[in-house]
Structure 1
């Protein structure tokens, strides 16, 4: 998931309020790139999180998936559970425009997936699937899985999520999704959404897109420069590759939807109980340094993680 660069700021004169964090989550793809100092200098300002402290590469206080309770500020907000694009801190001083109330019936942990759902919604708005389309999503991480859950409500002829990890395929299948190994993916797709962050995934996306089809590139590679196989399918079959980045509402919706409205729609989408399965681990907030080292390495935890939650409640 890429950070929400340029997110709407609060308007002047709004009263400050304090949010006591109850939980935050690690967006593994982007946060491990930040943790290992792999943000390209030329886009450092664009890729800054809305409320980060410090500058890339280090030291920087980062993160953009947090929930909490307003415990100081305007009387109308006291006790309200909120989601915000906020770093891994125990408390935050914000204005009302910085946060969004969490709907009833959605737990604090599930609300942390609002960022993933918002990114998935933005992807689907980028090149909207039509009735009866064949859609593939390559990469079953947090963003790919969230996008697939959203897309599963659309009247598509075919929706496949392509994932190399058999354990992830089993998890996705248990959610009622069609999850396949790359070699088993259907071809002649109208839209292929790429979220795996790998050269192999992007190459496979170009292979399975149908003639005149579209590949939506939603991966962020940091300072990695992937080789893109443009010599085979791209020109000969008139394919399109379009970028999706959640910092802005896509052009097709930008005149009619604000980022706040998009986030509200994402939070509403979390009424789907299947999102709980994307939370694959929980730790106390004190484990963040160790957790980031683990997720940035080739470890079993890194392989298994979709969304890892940090608890801030007493005793966690």
Structure 2
């Protein structure tokens, strides 16, 4: 099969011919109809020594079942339209017993190890117990976006939004955009986005945000009060740079909830007196569960949400290396998909 292969930080991905994956016990092979480029993929390829040479990236995908391994339970057939949680959990740890495979202590994500290659390719292997069927009412483009949408759904679920509450979303990238979509669906009243890039602000408004603020040109707290008349009950931190959790705690209302979805690999500082004075709760959100995937698929199938504004481009494998590098600094793009058939 053809695949995009990572070799070295600072070098573009290489399009190569590699062996087709074969399904192991409990696995299926999926013919990829669409695979998304994630910001975490960009980060993985940025730092020398972080990512193994020879890795095939890609953990956002959908397609059709092409091969079925042994010991696969369920009514799966060749040709079934599917997506999958890109997880390989051990099923024998505290997290797995709590039905939280994304928190498995021994688990792996597709596209992060040489043993679990990802979907920047014509085919990808997945755990059969992680499969989800894609109904006819969900397009291939929508199916390929289920994974990042499920991240946003899980973030919003962690907040337990009450109808009419005011919400602030810090960061209007793909995850912030998905959070906007599901915060509105959950019944939030005001959903205000803080985002310096005008393209992202406009996209979040298209997805249902009630207002969008440029924090580099306006005082965020003052503008929030002008727009909503109240401090936010929920603040979603979807950036992942130092100082953002502190800003979220500063802006949250009394007994507000701060949900941290931004990934930050370095240490940060936090003044506890701010949160203590308002009894702010800080909640972390990691990936998704199987019910999150099912809820997203149902929302797409029933037109309860419209994720169309998030899809900004589709490229072929041959176009992927240049597009991949361009996304390191391109707020005009949101969710770029790879179609290996092009």
Shorter-chain TM-score bucket reads 0.7 to 0.9
**Is residue 139–residue 201 contact of structure 1 (8 Å, CA) maintained in 2?**
no
Cα shift readout 1:176-204 (whole Å, capped 9, x = no counterpart): 32232132334511111110223354343
Q: 1:34 aligns with which of 44, 64, 67?
A: 44
Larger deviation, residues 125-134 vs 142-151: 125-134
**Is residue 190–residue 213 contact of structure 1 (8 Å, CA) maintained in 2?**
yes
Q: Distance in 1 between matches of 2:204 and 2:60?
A: 23
Q: How far has the Cα of 1:38 moved from its partner?
A: 8.0
Q: 2:52 aligns with which of 52, 55, 58?
A: 58
Corresponding residue for residue 264 of structure 1:
294
Aligned residue runs from structure 1 range 13-162, under 5 A: 14=26, 16-28=27-39, 30-37=40-47, 56-59=50-53, 60-73=55-68, 76-84=76-84, 85=86, 86=110, 87=118, 88-162=120-194
Q: 2:238 aligns with which of 195, 210, 215?
A: 195
**Is residue 215–residue 241 contact of structure 1 (8 Å, CA) maintained in 2?**
yes
Corresponding residue for residue 233 of structure 1:
274
Unaligned runs of 5+ in 1: 1-11, 40-55, 248-258
Looking at both structures, which has the greater relative contact order when contacts are Cα pairs under 8 Å and sequence separation is at least 6? Answer: 1
Corresponding residue for residue 185 of structure 1:
224
Larger deviation, residues 75-84 vs 97-106: 75-84
- When residues 245 and 176 of structure 1 are mapped into structure 2, their CA distance, relative to the original with a 3 A threshold, is closer
**Is residue 70–residue 81 contact of structure 1 (8 Å, CA) maintained in 2?**
yes
**Is residue 259–residue 283 contact of structure 2 (8 Å, CA) maintained in 1?**
yes
**Secondary structure in 2 matching 1:160:** strand
RMSD, matched Cα: 2.6
Q: How far has the Cα of 1:279 moved from its partner?
A: 0.8
Q: 2:316 aligns with which of 284, 287, 294?
A: 284
Cα shift readout 1:93-150 (whole Å, capped 9, x = no counterpart): 4453232111221111111221122112211222311233222111111111111111
Q: Distance in 2 between matches of 1:213 and 1:38?
A: 40
Unaligned runs of 5+ in 2: 1-23, 70-74, 87-109, 111-117
Q: 1:170 aligns with which of 199, 202, 211?
A: 202
Q: How far has the Cα of 1:282 moved from its partner?
A: 1.7
TM-score where L is the length of structure 1: 0.76
Q: How far has the Cα of 1:304 moved from its partner?
A: 1.5
**Rg (Cα) greater in structure:** 2
Q: Distance in 2 between matches of 1:197 and 1:215?
A: 13
**Is residue 123–residue 244 contact of structure 1 (8 Å, CA) maintained in 2?**
yes
Q: How far has the Cα of 1:263 moved from its partner?
A: 1.4
Q: Distance in 1 between matches of 2:256 and 2:207?
A: 27
